[in-house]
Amino acid sequence: MTEPDFLAATRTAYDAAAVPYAELVGEHFPTDLIGHAMLSVLAGRVRAAGGGPVADVGCGPGHVTAHLNSLGVAAFGVDLSPEMIALAREAHPGLRFEVGAMEDLRVEDASLAGVLAGFSIIHTPPGHLPRTFAEFRRVLAPGGHLLLSFQAHDRPAEAAEAFDHKVSLAYRYSPDHVAGLLEQAGLTEVARLIQAPGEDPVRGFPHAHLLARRGRRRRRGCRRAPVIGGRHAAPPPPRAAR
């Protein structure tokens, strides 16, 4: 299969910018309290479900992967850039990092308790998002959680808006549009948090954090009772024979 041009361009750009980018995010991450809160939610959900591996896709220099591990989650990192992975392995030698693309993860079906894509889908053109989300759904175990973070806009009718990222061409997305694509892929939104535009000191963009879950398998022969007023009602009695 031929690699899409955007993957090659993104890899080349991050390879060239790996060291200064790692320094920049290393300075910013400790002060990103809202981002930390959302990571804690993901980690808590994974632990509550019994644990399991979590993929940090687009992991960069590995700082978030390491933070997830400090929260009691067995996280490993995947990044398109070999230079980024080299920095991650050097900084966190006890953790697992590998070169790879989020559109084609080298993990078994339904094998992950969680997936984190922290500001990594922004380099994915809108036409490629459905494939990416289908891949996330493939690798998540039933009941597994996905946390997406991305620069956003508030115009649902517009699929994406390109912007000049410091490293490579990027897109910001409507949270409602992304949630709809997740639903189509079989991932149901659980919660969302939107940071106000004024919280972004660089461009003044809102930032979106969406938490979604892959549905659990239902046992054959089980029928769910209708929901009335927020409660599961018993099924109606059979009609009398005439």
Which segments in the chain show pLDDT lower than 70? 1, 217-242
Q: At 137, list the tokens.
A: 């759904």
- Other CB atoms within a 10 A radius of the CB of residue 77 amount to 29
Please give the Cα distance from 235 to 105 (Å, whole number).
43
Residue 207 CA to residue 32 CA, distance in Å, equals 12
Q: What does the pLDDT look like over 221-237, one tens digit per residue?
A: 444 434 333 344 444 44
Q: Concatenated DSSP letters for 66-84?
A: HHHHHTT-EEEEEES-HHH
pLDDT recorded at residue 16: 96
Distance CA(195)–CA(115), nearest Å, equals 21
What is the structure's pLDDT at 108? 98
Helix (H) / strand (E) element for 143: namely: strand 140-151
